[in-house]
Structure 1
């Protein structure tokens, strides 16, 4: 039979508990076990005034931000609406049904003020990493590093040539916040000091962003999100924002490795990365200065494409300081005699080895080796020994395992963009970008904790 029509009836009293209406298998229940924000009030005590109106609880703001980044709610206006309506969000934020939701402008006020002055988000991130270590999810033996391009919140139409930008008379005190942050990072290795090459375009609204065509498609303005992860379970050990070029990304890697060692006392035995990190100076930094085995393909441009012998076809004889060609002839180091003995050694650290003209002229492989010159020469780089050591690492039996584990960082970037929705930035300037990347890394670590450490069902 047809039942009665459902009509809303007002009741004088309600007995309602948020705890009973949040499912036991909800993601926020699993995450809540690992969120420890009890220390942030003491951490921020010096950044609040002792007079005036009581402030909004900073723990509430952080919990709301975590909800937004865990569920891909990028807009803070929408986040306030969702927390107001969603019972699980209210439960996670410790809000009752009658508690008011903070205005969206509160986030901007705190972000540009005490949160950045105290580096609070960094403190929360390190607390989360420490919890991952307590739960046994960090091995500390093998790390992987990579960077991913994230589109900046600017358009090409609102940009100009750097020369035109330099000609502008800009007052740093009257400039927008993103421009002031750009001026403050001109000497930073991850931004202004990363390279002396001038970009083709500079964005007016966010000049620190990089004009790049690295995706082999239409160029756009972007930042690089740099992750340093532990390869056991893909825990993000550190995160850093930089410009989107190789030099800046390598500098971010070094900063993250040193910061991880300083914060947690963890230095990996080996690290895996792609060719962008395979420059000679970076391999020297890893292998000699930090004693880390580099499972990184060497960045090498010595291979020839015209079919003639490349440098790799020649055998290095370290005992006799010479190269041996494929035919067995030796290439000796060229010596130039100068009156000034200081000019005997090349200033760049490179050494050039040359075969005898008489030997090359009668060699049967001359057309395969040096068809356009009288004698073949080979250049040996300053840190060629380190490059050869890196070649040995990538040729070892463990390298396939290291490269397989390195894919975990690429999976994290895919999750960042597809699930968390961070394909385009919402904030501008180096500080705003760092805030977004840090919050996203916190959310990913918390979700990883919830996945790998599931809740135990209650008995009965």
Structure 2
């Protein structure tokens, strides 16, 4: 017999427990067990007035934002709508079945005022990293660093030429995103990263970089910089920057220093691609930090015209000279050119009678060899290439690429909603919180066989 849907309400009263409606294996239960926000109210207390009407609980807003980023809900309006109807989300946000949902406009004000004043998102991220440390998911022996371009909320059709953009404008008459950018002009990750004038600037978000790095149509973007531990791919730090190499390298240094200061973590080795193989970066890693750079050296000394390259000359560190293939010496005057290069020159008399001159310097009276002042650190980096540890780092570096793929494809953060340096930083930190929480929930609940011992 065919059943029929009841048209009336039936019972007048119901006994309903929200927790019983959430399955035991639901992701929100695992994340709730890992997310500790008990410290939040005392942390934000100085930013609230002691008088007036009570505000929306900041823990509720943080939990709703976590739900949004964990489950790829890319709009605060939609977050409010989903929490309204989804029982699991309500349970995670500590809301009853009849509790009201905050208006979406409350998030914007809290984020731009109290949350940024108290650096709340950064503190939540650090607490999640500490939970990963406590669970044994961070080894601390090897790190990897990289950056990924995220499209900005900026329109090419409304952009202006780079030379027409003026940095000396009045901040009081500018939008929030422009004020934030003007405040970062001395920051190595933003305004001070490069003196090169960009081709186009977006008046609505001047921090966004016009870039064609993907070898396709150019677009406005910001760089999301990740520093991960290679054991399980946990993100130990995150930083927003301009989408240029100098800014991304500077962000890597900032993250390494901050991770050591905040968590006491300093890796034995760092894996990265060639963009981080600059002489100054390698020198900083080798001489100042004592970290083995498993990074391909950015070297353009190899010649393709059939003449001897710099690698054909042997450097003698004891005498500070180069020996050419003919056994002659190249010496330096000690003058540093362009603040980074020493020139080693051969004698004209030696080169003039040398039978190897056509293969060495056919168009010059004598041969000269440029040597970076940080060449020793570059030699250290070259010594790792081909070793077992270097090959291992190269394989493990794929984990950071997987983090970015997960960010864009699963969490759907392939375009920013917020503008300005602070807006980009907020989105990147919240996304890193979501990725670490999902990682923590997955590995602690069902650890892989080789991880059982270290998590126990």
TM-score category (smaller protein):
over 0.9
CA shift digits 1:141-173 (9 cap, x unpaired) = 111110000000001111111322229x84311
1:90 aligns with 2:70: no
Structural mapping, 1:89-128, within 5 Å: 89-128=89-128
| Equivalent in the alignment of 2:157 | 157
CA–CA distance in structure 1, aligned partners of residues 216 and 66 of structure 2: 33
**What does residue range 358-437 of structure 1 map to in structure 2 within 5 Å?**
358-361=349-352, 363-437=354-428
Query: Residues 88, 349 of structure 1: CA spacing in aligned structure 2 closer, same or farther, 3 A cutoff?
Result: closer
Secondary structure of 1:4's counterpart equals: coil
Aligned to 1:231: 230
What CA distance in whole angstroms lies between the structure 1 residues aligned with 2:156 and 2:75? Answer: 23
**TM-score where L is the length of structure 2:** 0.94
1:378 Cα shift?
A: 1.4
Is residue 25 of structure 1 aligned with residue 30 of structure 2? no
| C-alpha contact 1:30 1:455 (8 A) present in aligned 2 | no
Question: 1:334 offset after TM fit, Å?
Answer: 4.8
1:51-450 paired onto structure 2 within 5 Å: 51-166=51-166, 170-326=169-325, 328-335=326-333, 345-346=335-336, 348=339, 350-361=341-352, 363-450=354-441
The two structures, once aligned, show a CA RMSD in angstroms of 1.8
Q: Distance in 2 between matches of 1:320 and 1:205?
A: 57
Q: CA–CA distance in 2 between the matches of 1:435 and 1:349? A: 36
CA contact (8 A) 2:143 2:267 kept: yes
1:358 and 1:174 map into 2 onto residues whose CA distance is 67
Residue 334 and residue 89 in structure 1: after superposition, are their counterparts in 2 closer, same or farther (change >3 A)?
Answer: closer
Unpaired runs of at least 5, structure 1: 336-343
Partner Cα distance (1:366, 1:8) in 2: 99
Alpha-carbon distance between aligned partners in 2 of 1:370 and 1:454, rounded to the nearest angstrom: 65
Residue aligned with 1:345, SS? strand
Q: TM-score, normalised by structure 1?
A: 0.93
Conservation of the 8 A alpha-carbon contact between 1:226 and 1:242: yes
Aligned length: 445
3-state SS of paired residue (1:166)? coil
CA distance in 1, matches of 2:317, 2:174: 58
Report how far residue 350 of structure 1 moved. Answer: 3.1
Deviations 1:118-154 (A, max 9, x none): 0011110011001111111111111111000000000
- Does the CA-based 8 Å contact 1:333-1:351 persist in structure 2? no
Residue by residue over 1:394-451, the C-alpha shift from the partner in whole angstroms, topping out at 9 and shown as x without a partner, is 2432100011111111110000000000000000011111000000000000000011
Which digits, 9 at most, give the CA deviation of each residue in 1:195-240, with x for residues without a partner? 1111011101001111111111111110000011111111111100
- Shift in Å, 1:353: 2.5
Deviations 1:248-306 (A, max 9, x none): 11111111111111111111111111111111111111111111111111111212232
Alpha-carbon contact 1:287-1:294 (below 8 Å) kept: yes
SS in 1 for 2:157: helix
**Which residue number corresponds to residue 341 of structure 1?**
none
Structure 1 residue 455, shift from structure 2 partner? 6.7
| Separation in 1, partners of 2:319, 2:116 | 58
Change (3 A) 1:346 1:247: closer
- The Cα shift of 1:366 comes to 3.6
* Partner residue in 2 for 1:340: none
> What is the distance in 2 between the residues matched to 1:350 and 1:418?
44
Q: 1:353/1:84 Cα in 2 relative to 1: closer, same or farther (>3 Å)?
A: same
349 and 17 in structure 1: CA distance in 2 versus 1, 3 angstrom threshold:
closer
Counterpart in the other structure of 1:338: none
Moved more, 47-56 or 15-24: 15-24
- Mapped partners of 2:335, 2:391: distance in 1: 40
My pick for the range that moved more, 394-403 or 196-205, is: 394-403
Note the C-alpha offset of 1:362.
5.3
Unaligned runs of 5+ in 2: 448-456
For residues 162 and 107 of structure 1, what CA distance do their matches in structure 2 show? 33
Decide whether the 8 Å contact of 1:331 with 1:353 is kept in 2: no
Q: Deviation digits for residues 62-119 of structure 1, max 9, x if unmatched?
A: 1110000001101000111111111111111111111111100010010011000100
Q: Which moved more, 1:264-273 or 1:413-422?
A: 264-273
Q: Give, in angstroms, the shift of residue 364 of structure 1.
A: 4.8
Q: Give the structure 1 partner of residue 452 of structure 2.
A: none
